[in-house]
Structure 1
């Protein structure tokens, strides 16, 4: 089977993609897919340290808007959305690919997770999706699609996923409730659940290489997914072809989640 060039079915669409850290990021796969099917991009980066990795990618994708965004800094949130409103006046797609927990709390097991660490993980990894969705919704004047990234460990216990399991469970529930609240505005919301991917965020998990190997062995398709598998799925969901789908948690994992 040959890889066909995607059709530009999102020409004119405006997409905000948060969470790109480097060329291995899930968010980068989403941004690339949107770009390939014709969307214009607004890309954010966390800080000056990250900028050097993200800026060349944004340039390759002809990103119209490239700005810093630390969701803990309201001034940066304001600046991003002010710029989108001034330059575009609208938004069609939003990707939230942000997750973080203090290393000690992430690797120490849920029982030993501190209250502060749990709160920080919840704020960055879950509540930031709600906050940013609140800002996106008024710009989605003709409807739109929002995506956030979750993982199988939200639904089943995955050893060493620890505090991120409950956090991602809350994120999935938030996506469903946002889908309900934003449905009348024709805004669709999905939680995307890729299989294990070798990303910078995942590298903080204990024994992550073992998780990768086990996923490849258990997958009915017999192989791991990559960031473009995730990106192309999100691109499809952002098109009119998926206009009656909302509130889903979609697994892109080669079928791992169906296995006992």
Structure 2
């Protein structure tokens, strides 16, 4: 992959087309995360950032990146824990009052369900994968909507395995397909 910016990218960076915009990024794990790459570009384009981290174990890795990016909001967010996503949105409302971009770049399935065949996935493993990888995006959209009275952008990360069978992707294929469908329905409802 060529990391050299194109002329269009250079022009966009110089013009700071996201200047004054506020972006929430959920899912940075380290400097190799797709979420980190997105946050870096948002920042280069002028956006102010809110960055979350999963837990105290992840905090030091993400905190250094959040500082590098100049994130004005840095908060814990485990979407599997009641109230944490709501707390992030309360902090955004209190600090900024509004939101322009929300990026959802998270997925999870229990290891035994992820590594096994889909037909052998457990009820609980399937529910956890759907809740964290798909429904949390719907939940995020519900919380973002009132903070985007003039409209905004909601982004979710998917994978080719949502549309085509990819060996060893197993449980995550149907989960990501559900996420993609949720994105389409939310675009219809909110767009």
When normalised by structure 1's length, the TM-score is 0.69
Q: Secondary structure at the match of 1:127?
A: helix
Deviation at 1:76, TM superposition (A): 1.6
Which of 126, 130, 134 in structure 1 is aligned with 2:134? 126
Answering whether residue 93 of structure 2 is matched by residue 93 of structure 1, we say no
Aligned Cα root-mean-square deviation (Å): 1.2
Partner of 1:30: 38
Partner of 2:152: 144
Larger RCO (CA under 8 A, 6+ residues apart): 1
Gaps of 5+ in 1: 184-260
Q: How does 1:1-260 map to 2 (within 5 A)?
A: 3=5, 5=10, 6-7=13-14, 8-183=16-191
Q: Secondary structure at the match of 1:85?
A: helix
Q: Which runs of 4+ in 1 moved over 6 A?
A: none
Partner of 1:256: none
Deviation at 1:142, TM superposition (A): 1.3
1: CA distance, partners of 2:164 / 2:29: 27
Partner of 1:201: none
Deviation at 1:98, TM superposition (A): 0.8
Deviations 1:19-62 (A, max 9, x none): 00000111001100000000000000000000010001000110
2: CA distance, partners of 1:58 / 1:178: 29
Deviation at 1:81, TM superposition (A): 0.9
Deviation at 1:74, TM superposition (A): 2.5
Deviation at 1:71, TM superposition (A): 0.6
Number of aligned positions between the proteins? 183
2: CA distance, partners of 1:76 / 1:106: 25
Partner of 1:188: none
Gaps of 5+ in 2: none
2: CA distance, partners of 1:112 / 1:170: 19
2: CA distance, partners of 1:74 / 1:119: 15
1: CA distance, partners of 2:82 / 2:167: 35
Deviations 1:202-229 (A, max 9, x none): xxxxxxxxxxxxxxxxxxxxxxxxxxxx
